[in-house]
Amino acid sequence: MPASAWRGWRSLRILAFAFALLLALVSYWPNWRWLQWLSLLVLYSPSWLYFGLFLPWLLGWRSLTRWQYLMLLPMLLVAVKILDVGWPASPSAEDANLVLLSANLGNMADTEQLARLMSQHRVSVAIFQEARLEKLVAFNTNDWQTHCDAGLCIVSKFPFDVEQTLSRSLFQGYGNFAVFYRLNLPERNLLLANVHFETPRPALESLIKLSPDNIAMQVRQQDRELQATIIADWVHSQAEAVVIGGDFNMPVLSPIYQQYFSSLGNALSERTAQIVRYTKYTRWHGIRIDHQLYRGDLVPLEARVLQLSSGDHRPVLVKWRI
């Protein structure tokens, strides 16, 4: 291979390696406007695009040196982080005394399939986003206590009290972005938050159309950060055990998630039963933006994403030991 070609492949590999390391730190990038746009692209674009960084190794394999082979190891570790895949946890010997399901019902046409899955997995409490009472007709009201308020619903086999609701009117929007419940379990009470944060979709759509709307991006990011601040402050003000479930509209690598929720446990991160745990699907890719977080003396025994034939979100199911 000519020396010029060898140097060219080496330069491409160094650039790809540097960019991979930059991606690994996406949660901690400075809050500069152009980096905010790049962060949104990295976090919400198809994660399989990351494999494009391996092309300088694949196409120019004849010029590889030992240290360039070694560069692949950290790049593969970054790939695991970007792709958000996990290794299934070993089954727990403990018995669950709370099975909690959370799901966004926005584009779900068939809630009967969801009702069957809930029966199959013996769900005891379910919280829904983008929901209304008409969508819950598949659930036998004799078996469940139900409450719906401005887009956020709960069905429970345990008694519960509604502690507080937080409206999107604070952000010139409609509906609630959080409802707090107190579950009256046989063992003790448990605080449960049902959340649905703002979506970055308007900013992303403006970027896809090649006309980035800086105002839309800044407003949405500020709203999302304020919502995260309110929920995080509520969690840390509680002396009791807390579970937060719902549609966060942000992956774990999001700077907002890392700043406000990284100190909490994440059931799908810690006790996943699956390698791929994406909760939201588009035509091009999947992403994990729905979570069940917790704080206090409770233990997630198993967490999984359930498969449904309708809807773009997948329900998150967690078995808890309270």
Show the beta-strand stretches assigned E in the chain: 98-104, 125-129, 145-149, 152-156, 160-167, 176-184, 189-196, 242-247, 265-266, 280-281, 286-287, 290-295, 299-305, 316-321
Given a cut of 60, whether residue 211 has pLDDT beyond it is yes
- Whether the model clears a pTM of 0.85, i.e. scores above it, the answer is yes
Residues 300 and 228 in one domain: yes
Other CB atoms within 10 Å distance of the CB of residue 185: 18
Residues 152 and 222 in one domain: yes
In a domain, 92, yes or no: no
pLDDT of residue 162: 93
pLDDT tens-digit readout, 286-296: 999 999 999 99
pLDDT tens-digit readout, 3-28: 666 577 788 888 999 999 999 999 89
Q: How far apart are CA 31 and CA 44, in angstroms?
A: 17
170-184 as b/e, with b when 16 or more CB fall inside 10 Å?
ebeeebbbbbbbebe
In a domain, 186, yes or no: yes
Sheet strand arrangement including 98-104:
145-149, 152-156, 125-129, 98-104, 316-321, 299-305
Which of 58, 83, 108 represents a domain boundary (last residue)? 83
pLDDT tens-digit readout, 84-102: 988 888 888 788 889 999 9
Spatial CA neighbour of 127 closest among 64, 28, 195, 71: 195
Residues 77 and 106 in one domain: no
Residues 285 and 155 in one domain: yes
- Full domain range(s) for residue 19: 3-83
CATH code for position 255: 3.60.10.10
pLDDT of residue 5: 61
In a domain, 248, yes or no: yes
pLDDT tens-digit readout, 232-287: 999 999 989 999 999 999 999 999 999 999 999 999 999 988 999 999 998 888 99
pLDDT tens-digit readout, 40-69: 888 998 999 999 999 888 887 777 788 888
In a domain, 215, yes or no: yes
pLDDT of residue 220: 85
pLDDT of residue 6: 58
Pairing assessment for the beta strands 290-295 and 265-266 based on DSSP bridges: antiparallel
pLDDT of residue 262: 94
Residues 49 and 112 in one domain: no
Residues 174 and 211 in one domain: yes
**What average pLDDT score do residues 204-216 get?**
81
Show the beta-strand stretches assigned E in 185-285: 189-196, 242-247, 265-266, 280-281
In a domain, 90, yes or no: no
Q: Name the percent of the chain lying above pLDDT 90.
A: 45
**What average pLDDT score do residues 75-80 get?**
92
pLDDT of residue 247: 95
pLDDT of residue 21: 92
CA 78 to mean position of chain CA atoms: 18
Residues 51 and 145 in one domain: no
In three-state secondary structure terms, 321 is: strand
In three-state secondary structure terms, 145 is: strand
Mean pLDDT over each residue of the chain, to the nearest integer: 88
- 119-123, 130-134, 190-194: which is most confident: 190-194
* Residues facing 156 on adjacent strands: 125, 145
Place 82 in a pLDDT band, splitting at 50, 70 and 90: very high
For residue 190, what are its two tokens?
A: 């448990």
Q: How many structural domains is the chain composed of?
A: 2
In a domain, 91, yes or no: no
Residues 34 and 137 in one domain: no
Given a cut of 70, whether residue 1 has pLDDT beyond it is no
